[in-house]
Amino acid sequence: MSHVDRQTSERDSKMKCIFVHVEPCELEFFLFEDEVDDKMKKKFKKMGFPKIWVQYPSNAGDKLKDLGGGLFQQGEFQCSSFTMIEPTAEGFYEIRYDETKNSVRLKLEGTFFTGNDPEIYDDTSETEYMLSQTEGIIQVITLNNEKAKPIKKPKDEWGMSDPIEALAGDLEYNNKGSGIRFQLTTKRGTYIGGEIIPD
């Protein structure tokens, strides 16, 4: 193995963990009436951190349309995304069900873990573009209980049940999303159980 190949191999074996720092925001997501009964409302009293996908345009020339009121809409272009997995010690969230509007209100602030990835390097144009992004949208969240397990919809006629979803803006899958401002960073190592484990 050549010196260059050895350096490449060593670099490729390194893991990076990705974090996102979110500016303080309060977002609202709406639930379908037929999926929320009294039993479901009881589950909403003990919600944990939801599953959150943050989307941003894949190309610098594409822009999200500002609809006002904190809502944006994706146009006829592709978006990239990352998942907010859990808050770090510097991350804060609050989630509550608003029965009067059949909606979920979510507050976010600080730093959240988004994943461990061996293919993220600061010297690639794709990664540089991702790390340069500061604005995105959240279109849909799926709700979890306090044990980080999905809260499921009532079973359908075939006995199947999917995780319950809450949508931004209205009750249509129309590429609308609540806007958030953020900064992505990477650190060498693997993030496990609230701490970074060195390579």
What does the pLDDT read at residue 159?
Answer: 83
Higher pLDDT, 199 or 117: 117
User: What is the rounded distance in angstroms from the CA atom of residue 105 to the CA atom of residue 84?
Assistant: 16
Q: What is the radius of gyration, based on Cα positions, of the chain?
A: 19
User: What is the rounded distance in angstroms from the CA atom of residue 171 to the CA atom of residue 101?
Assistant: 12
3 has pLDDT over 80: no
Region class of 70: left (phi > 0), else alpha (psi between -120 and 50), else beta: left
**Mean pLDDT across 20-40:** 96
Neighbours of 29 (CB within 10 A): 23
**Mean pLDDT across 156-169:** 90
Three-class DSSP category at 130: helix
Three-class DSSP category at 30: strand
Using 50, 70 and 90 to split pLDDT, how confident is the model at 50? very high
Q: Do 44 and 153 touch, CB atoms closer than 8 A?
A: no
5 has pLDDT over 60: no
Which residues in the chain belong to E strands, given as ranges? Answer: 16-30, 51-57, 65-68, 71-73, 79-84, 86-98, 103-117, 135-138, 140-142, 165-168, 176-188, 190-192, 195-197
What does the pLDDT read at residue 15?
Answer: 86
The least confident of 2-6, 41-45, 145-149 is 2-6
| pLDDT > 70 fraction of the chain, expressed in percent and rounded | 91
Using 50, 70 and 90 to split pLDDT, how confident is the model at 14? confident
**Mean pLDDT across 143-167:** 91
What does the pLDDT read at residue 29?
Answer: 98
Per-residue pLDDT tens over the stretch 163-178: 999 999 999 999 999 9
What does the pLDDT read at residue 121?
Answer: 60
Using 50, 70 and 90 to split pLDDT, how confident is the model at 125? confident
User: What is the rounded distance in angstroms from the CA atom of residue 81 to the CA atom of residue 103?
Assistant: 24
What does the pLDDT read at residue 133?
Answer: 94
Tokens 């849909």 found at:
140
Report how far Cα 146 is from the mean position of its chain's Cα atoms.
17
Using 50, 70 and 90 to split pLDDT, how confident is the model at 155? confident
Using 50, 70 and 90 to split pLDDT, how confident is the model at 9? very low
What does the pLDDT read at residue 7?
Answer: 42
